[in-house]
Amino acid sequence: MSEENEKKFSEAEKQVVDENLNEVNKTEPIAEKGDSDIDSNDSTQSKLKEKLDSTIQNLASCEEKLKRSLADFQNLQKKTHSDIQNGVNAKIDQFMKNFLSIYDDFNRAKKAMIDENVNVTGLESVLKNVDSLLSEYDVTPINALGEIFDPNVHEAVSIVEDPTLDDGTITKEIRKGYISQNRVIRPTIVEISKKSNLDKSSSE
């Protein structure tokens, strides 16, 4: 082989070596860049997971607060409705008490007129209309005569001894009581019986 050919071969060989070196130099940065991307992706995923966990916790906290607020609102709504209803009932009961006092006056007037032999036909008609009105609004008299005293619906103002009756038996209605919608508008004022101590000893 001539020197010129050897020289050309050496130059060609050198060029191949240089090209290989260039290829190696190119691949190394790429590898490094790939590692960096992987690390960056891992870091991003970690941050996203943290944000997701934080968002889930905040959502759970907001949901719990919403439930408590809803429960408080429902309780307030019920209390408000109850307060309004109680206020309305109190006004109605007070009106009925006043109305029943007038009704009592009519009944006393009727009794006095009968005692004086006065015609009470007109007054009886008025009283029947009042009775119908009370019944329409579910205002009913409280049964008392002959019943056992019940402090929830009766009010005792006097006691009489009666050996033939059980203690607490109502012997007389002094003023009739009324009830409406399971509420006592006014209790019946009554007289009740009581056995004497001697009668109790005998029965024992």
Instruction: Tell me the residue range of the domain where 172 lies.
Output: 140-195
**Which residues, 6 or more positions from 147, have their beta carbon under 8 angstroms from its beta carbon?**
154, 169, 170
Residue 70, domain member (yes or no):
yes
Pair 120, 178 in one domain:
no
Say which residue the tokens 């006097």 belong to: 158
pTM higher than 0.85 for the full model?
no
Pair 149, 123 in one domain:
no
Domain's final residue, options 137, 157, 182: 137
Residue 12, domain member (yes or no):
no
Pair 72, 133 in one domain:
yes
Pair 151, 116 in one domain:
no
Cross-strand pairs, 160: 193
Helices (H), the chain: 3-115, 121-136, 197-203
Local structure of residue 5 (DSSP, 8 states): H
What pLDDT was estimated at residue 33? 47
Residue 38, domain member (yes or no):
no
What pLDDT was estimated at residue 24? 46
Pair 106, 152 in one domain:
no
Pair 128, 70 in one domain:
yes
Half-sphere exposure (CA, 13 Å, Cβ side) for 31? Answer: 6
Q: pLDDT by residue for the chain (204 residues), tens digit each?
A: 545 544 444 555 556 545 555 554 554 444 444 556 666 777 888 888 888 888 898 898 999 999 999 999 999 999 999 999 989 989 988 999 999 999 999 999 999 999 999 999 999 999 999 999 999 989 999 989 999 999 999 999 999 999 888 999 999 999 999 999 889 999 999 999 998 765 555 555
Domain CATH code at residue 183: 2.30.22.10
193: exposed, middle or buried (C-beta count within 10 Å: 0-12, 13-18, 19+)?
buried
Local structure of residue 143 (DSSP, 8 states): P
Residue 103, domain member (yes or no):
yes
Residue 18, domain member (yes or no):
no
Cross-strand pairs, 159: 192
Cα 89 to chain center, whole Å? 19
Token code pair at residue 82: 């109850």
Instruction: Report d(CA 173, CA 150) in Å as an integer.
Output: 13
Q: Are strands 178-180 and 139-141 parallel, antiparallel or unpaired?
A: antiparallel
Instruction: Report d(CA 74, CA 94) in Å as an integer.
Output: 30
